[in-house]
Amino acid sequence: MNNIWGDMAQYDPVTWNWVIAVYLFMAGLSAGSILIGIGMRWYSKEGNKESPILKASAIIGPVAISLGLACLVFDLTKPFHFWLILVNYNFTSVMAIGVAALLAYTPLGIAYALIVLRDDLPKWKLGFLSPIGQLLLPFRQVIEVLLFILAIGVGAYTGFLISAMNAYPLLNTAILPALFLASGLSAGAAGNLIVALTCFNSSAGDDDVTKLHGLDLPVIVTEIMFLVMLFSSLYFTGGAAAESLASLSQDIWASVFWYGVVGIGFAIPILSMFLPSSTRHTKAMMITVACCSLTGVLALRHFIIYAGQSYIS
Amino acid sequence: MNKRYVMVHDENKCIGCQACNIACRSENNVPEGVTRLQVRVEGPFGEAPHLHYKYNRVSCQQCENAPCVEVCPTGAAYIGDDGLVTIDDDKCIGCMYCIAACPYKVRFINPVTKAADKCNFCKDTRLARGEQPACVTACPTDALYFGDANDSESEVTNLINTKVTYQEKTHLGTKPRIYRIPTKRGGIES
């Protein structure tokens, strides 16, 4: 429609796009992978062996966060001024707190990867990095604990980042950081499983792999619970918050939610548990289900980013 | 005493002519395709023959509790000594957090500077010279008032104290400093 007051393009409430959704996914994947890798090491009986799962998380952790941060930097309107965010901090901003956390998390993740992969690096022609891994080995305990704590922070921070915007009722909820942390764990478990099975010759019958596989159901149930809490709190808040529930029945993002998040992300992994155990525990089946979980988490981040910004109070 | 600059938009006097919009563009060198200030003509409301329009000024609300300042990671969005929400172009990296967080959707990326941009009541130009913002001066029907609400003698204080006014989205706790005098149906009595 023509109007006399000028261009309306800048007033589109959807400011952040898929690049940010991919970043949120990558940050969740990285944090979840690290949490599961280190967590399983702590609970495992053979603590001194580098398990395939831990090696997988040592790769996914730093790689995913680096790719995510690359997305973030190139989404800036001034990508070559990104260093300004590293020297100026406004600590009322969740983003500034996140930058501070990532500034510690990313190098620690790389350091931890060098420690865990010190014996594997020569296989990938990266042998020159092994001495650094050896050098860092005495500090393993400290790095591990710090990295674990920071990973909880990074996983939850992506939720705080967007829930801080009180104009968007679907985003401005207390449950979002918890939901993102839970779905990050789901992505991390899936990512670890895929890398362990494909790159580190883990077999489908391994004790670790079975344990990791067993995490699927509780994590999915937690996610579903958090989603129910999110939507019911919107419903009972009423007003603009209740109106944002239309995102579950209207437009493309409703399809992304029902087909992507619920169908691929929840239903397929849950239904796969009813398969005969001989089929269920094959490598191919495990990788397929893990890919479905990853797709579901990616779809959830897209749904939250787009549907969340589409309804403004 | 601190200044508390506010603007009052009398929607009875406004005719939606966009003189303010053009004056702003010219004074602040706002590039084509983006806008610091629009007056949207909304309606008609009611049933014929008793129809009326609403003239909705869309511009930075100069919130006293500004979400954009709270979320800005680098401090590029800040509140100056004069209490006005302002942007330091050199500190802005264009993460667009402020644009997403603004409940009024009045922030945008300036295509020339690549920094976030919005109305600042002409703080660097006309206000610095002791003049009124360009929109206020250009308005042909004197529908806009600007001044210090902490000065009990000022015209804006008098208006806020004597007229029915409203502000937008006060439920979000932003304390916007654009006051609006709503349209009285059936003619102008002021």
Pairing relationship of beta strands B5-10 and B178-181 according to DSSP bridges:
parallel
The residue segments making up the domain with residue A79 are 15-310
Q: Give the three-class secondary structure for A28.
A: helix
pLDDT score of B183: 85
Q: How many CB pairs under 8 A join A and B?
A: 112
Q: How many residues does chain A have?
A: 313
Mutate to test the interface with A, among B60, B95, B98, B114 (most CBs of A within 10 A): B95
CA distance B77 to B67: 10
The structural domain count of chain B equals: 1
Chain segment A152-198, per-residue pLDDT in tens: 999 999 999 999 999 999 999 999 999 999 999 999 999 999 999 99
Helix (H, G, I), strand (E, B) or coil at B109: strand
Given this model, what pLDDT does residue B49 score? 80
pTM more than 0.90: yes
Q: Is B8 helix (H, G, I), strand (E, B) or coil?
A: strand
CB contacts of A15 in chain B (<8 Å) are 96, 99-100
For B:111-140, CB contacts with A below 8 A are 114-115
* pLDDT surpasses 70 at A306: yes
Token digits of residue B18: 């966009």
Q: What single string gives the DSSP state of each residue in A257-304?
A: IIIIIIIIIIIHHHHHTTS-HHHHTSHHHHHHHHHHHHHHHHHHHHHH
Min Cα–Cα distance to chain A from B22, Å:
9
Q: For position A220, which CATH number holds? A: 1.20.1630.10
The contacts of residue A232 (CB under 8 Å, 6+ apart) are: none
3 state DSSP class of B39: strand
Handedness of CA B150, B156, B160, B166 (dihedral sign): negative
Instruction: Please give the structure tokens belonging to residue A222.
Output: 């937690």
Do residues B41 and B16 make contact, with C-beta atoms less than 8 angstroms apart? Answer: yes
Are A165 and B71 inside 8 Å of each other by CB? yes
* Spacing of C-alpha B60 from chain mean position: 4
Is residue A10 domain-resident? no
- Decide if A78 is inside a domain: yes
Q: Is residue B62 part of a domain?
A: yes
Q: What is the mean pLDDT of each run of 10 residues along chain B (190 residues)?
A: 91 94 95 94 85 92 96 96 94 96 96 96 93 96 96 95 95 96 68
CB contact under 8 A, A4 and B18: yes
Number of domains observed in the structure of chain A: 1
Domain membership flag for residue B129: yes
Determine, yes or no, domain membership for B151.
yes
Nearest C-alpha in B relative to A80: B93
| Secondary structure (3-state) at B19 | helix
A contact residues 58-117, partner B, Cβ 8 Å cutoff: 75-78, 81-82, 84-85, 88-90, 92-96, 99
pLDDT tens digits, A228-280: 999 999 999 999 999 999 999 998 999 999 999 999 999 999 999 899 988 88
Nearest residue of chain A to residue B72 (CA atoms): A93
Subunit contact A90:B95, Cβ cutoff 8 A: no
Between chains, do A84 and B91 touch, taking CB under 8 Å as contact? yes
pLDDT tens digits, residue range B123-168?
999 999 999 999 999 999 999 999 999 999 999 999 999 999 999 9
Residue A1: inside a domain: no
Residue A4 belongs to a domain: no
Residues 6+ apart with CB under 8 A from B25: B35, B36
Domain CATH code at residue B86: 3.30.70.20
Please indicate whether, in this complex, the C-beta atoms of B114 and A167 are within 8 angstroms of each other: no
Give whole-number Cα distances, B136 to A242, B6, B157, B169, in Å: 39, 12, 16, 23
* Structural domain boundaries enclosing B164: 5-181
